Amino acid sequence: MIESIENLEDLKGHSVREWVSMAGPRLEIHHRFKNFLRTHVDSHGHNVFKEPLPQEVLKKYIIYAKEKVHPKLNQMDQDKVAKMYSDLRKESMATGSIPITVRHIESMIRMAEAHARIHLRDYVIEDDVNMAIRVMLESFIDTQKFSVMRGMRKTFARYLSFRRDNNELLLFILKQLVAEQVMYQRNRFGAQQDIIEVPEKDLVDKARQINIYNLSAFYDSELFQMNKFSHDLKRKMILQQF
């Protein structure tokens, strides 16, 4: 593995060879890769460069993390996972939804360990567990009936919002509102229209519940437009074209 790293090309003016001593011990290599990660990723886990990381660099970084890093889950993290399991079981029983199983929890633990591993951590920290909970919850809730899905998203909103910026949260809420309109049209008319309209006020009210008060940046964002949304300021409506 160390020999394969040697052939990586320079990245942003610094070659991996500068960070990793080919003859150095594993501890030094591990330390230098951590410095590499801190240099290229900000405190929120975002890449500081706009252009993608070269695929060859990414591939070898992942190989190194898989082979050399083996994070451990401590008791505190296990208790948090256990509480989530208990809360989901209660919610499943109360709503008659698809039940959560031990296999879901095993998957969540593996995801937490994988998230820690890709950050070259020796121990699973709270961020790793929170990210795993969010991913598992999103997948689990998406398998439920629409009526159950809405209730679960509200109940577990604090977990689902982990590490999402405001635009992502607003898009998530807006898609829910659109889905409600689609369901209403199908139930009443037997089909949906090509353009779905959502009152601006509905999104504003939902946004206030999560302490977001200014939506102008969201309406102007690339994320908003990429999802085929438009904002009719005069009519105070949000439109999505299908």
pLDDT value at residue 169: 85
- Which of 110, 145, 160 is where one domain is finished? 160
Q: How many domains does the chain have?
A: 3
Q: Are residues 89 and 120 in the same domain?
A: yes
Q: Are residues 56 and 81 in the same domain?
A: no
| Tokens 């594993």, located at residue | 26
Biggest CA-to-CA distance, the chain: 71
Q: Are residues 81 and 63 in the same domain?
A: no
Dump pLDDT digits (tens) for 128-144: 988 898 899 888 888 88
Q: Report the alpha-carbon distance of residue 229 to residue 18 in Å, rounded.
A: 46
Dump pLDDT digits (tens) for 178-230: 999 999 888 888 888 889 999 999 999 998 887 788 898 899 998 999 999 99
Note down the domain range covering 177: 166-241
Q: Is the pLDDT of residue 28 over 80?
A: no
Structure tokens at 90: 């209660």
Taking a C-beta distance cutoff of 8 angstroms, is the pair 217, 167 a contact?
A: yes
- Comparing C-alpha atoms, which of 96, 196, 111 is closest to residue 162? 111
Q: Are residues 152 and 118 in the same domain?
A: yes
Q: Report the alpha-carbon distance of residue 197 to residue 237 in Å, rounded.
A: 6
Q: Are residues 132 and 96 in the same domain?
A: yes
Strand partners, 202: none
Q: Are residues 143 and 111 in the same domain?
A: yes
pLDDT value at residue 35: 58
Q: Are residues 27 and 79 in the same domain?
A: no
Q: Are residues 98 and 127 in the same domain?
A: yes
